[in-house]
Amino acid sequence: LDINTPTVLGVDVGGTNIRLAIVDTQGEIGERSNQQADLSQLNGQGAAQCVLDTLSEAILPLLEKHPQITAVGIGFPGFFDNKTGLMISSPNIPGLRDFALADALHKRLRLPVHVQNDASLAALGEFRFGAVQGLSSLLHLTLGTGIGGGLILNGKMYGGDGGMAMEIGHMHIAPEGRICGCGNTGCLETYASATAVSQGYLEQSGKRLNAQQICLLAEQGNQLALTILEEAGHYLGRAIAEAVKLLDVRHVSISGGLSQAWSLLFPTLSQALEERLIPPLRGRIHVCHSALNDDAGILGAAIFAFEE
Ligand SMILES: [Zn+2]
């Protein structure tokens, strides 16, 4: 990156790691850093302090090395009040409640810090720099440890009244389905997240593999791995059909580790989607694999830092 162009730091906080990159106004990415951090194990009163320590330790070395960085944008798995900016809660970290993460980090880093829901920012990144440009609306899904959903409506991020819109991972898609971490059964993420794929394979084979290994096996023709991925695609198609019937959004993009198996997910996804649409929507919903190599979250965080 040109040292004279304005740059920000985009940070994407995931279930098991924190990914950071320097980004300029054109969405060009410079130096990156990747830190292993399992924040989901945090609990109780020390959680806020630990989140602050972990994020500061990941961010500070890059700020020291690149003094041209003017702000930090962070996508975090949490629900944010759009008036106060407070993190109301985080689905994976019960100890965090009404947490002023942006303000607390701003004091430590001495730079403007902007924090927003990770899936909403991934949607923003995809909307601005993704495969299809010039859209007015976009629904974006990230298939990771869980399933995140983000929505851009008429060019703007839509988070709902309390920052909890598009919790598509908890859309009920299977009657009498598997038990979800949210306490309900049959949620999308119990079938189509990386965790679900890994769990499904373990239950039927007795072998514990991660989603990436299962995708590889499927590509080599392993029947169980293929069946599990096709099932994941099928349930994604069901959920997307229900979402677009509510929203009439015509473009959907999908990112996250599991989306690497696109050619295996897409046929059943597409079939389940078309079957469940109302006739006027059939053939009009475009679902594509993210073209950003999982940088949607980092880019969205950077856009948010530039524009807030
Ligand atoms: Zn659920």
Give 19-65 pLDDT, tens digit per residue: 999 999 999 999 999 999 877 777 767 889 999 999 999 999 999 99
| Distance from C-alpha of 196 to C-alpha of 176, rounded to nearest angstrom | 16
| The most confident of 15-24, 84-93, 270-279, by mean pLDDT | 270-279
| pLDDT single digits (tens) 112-160 | 999 999 999 999 999 999 988 899 999 999 998 899 999 999 999 999 9
Distance from the alpha carbon of residue 184 to the mean position of ligand 1, in angstroms: 5
| Distance from C-alpha of 186 to C-alpha of 166, rounded to nearest angstrom | 17
Contact 239/168 with Cβ under 8 angstroms?
A: yes
Contact 10/70 with Cβ under 8 angstroms?
A: no
Is the pLDDT confidence value at 4 over 90? no
* pTM of the entire predicted model: 0.94
What pLDDT, on the 0 to 100 scale, is given for residue 223?
97
Is the pLDDT confidence value at 264 over 80? yes
Distance from the alpha carbon of residue 99 to the mean position of ligand 1, in angstroms: 23
* Per-position b or e across 167-206, b if 16+ CB within 10 A of its CB: bbbbbebbeebeebeeeeebbbbbbbbbbbbbbbbeeeee
- Return all residues near 181 (Cβ < 8 A) that are at least 6 apart: 91, 146
- CA distance to 17, 48, 291, per residue, from 133 (Å): 29, 38, 12
Distance from the alpha carbon of residue 105 to the mean position of ligand 1, in angstroms: 30
Is the pLDDT confidence value at 278 over 90? yes
- CA distance to 113, 138, 177, 253, per residue, from 132 (Å): 29, 10, 35, 9
Distance from the alpha carbon of residue 179 to the mean position of ligand 1, in angstroms: 8
Q: In what order do the strands lie in the sheet with 17-24?
A: 29-36, 17-24, 7-13, 69-76, 113-117
Distance from the alpha carbon of residue 189 to the mean position of ligand 1, in angstroms: 7
Contact 45/87 with Cβ under 8 angstroms?
A: no
| Distance from C-alpha of 194 to C-alpha of 187, rounded to nearest angstrom | 14
Distance from the alpha carbon of residue 251 to the mean position of ligand 1, in angstroms: 24
Residues near ion ligand 1 (Cβ under 5 Å): 170, 180, 182, 184, 187
Contact 63/69 with Cβ under 8 angstroms?
A: yes
Distance from the alpha carbon of residue 168 to the mean position of ligand 1, in angstroms: 9
Distance from the alpha carbon of residue 4 to the mean position of ligand 1, in angstroms: 46
Strand partners, 140: 150, 253
Distance from the alpha carbon of residue 181 to the mean position of ligand 1, in angstroms: 6
Distance from the alpha carbon of residue 90 to the mean position of ligand 1, in angstroms: 14
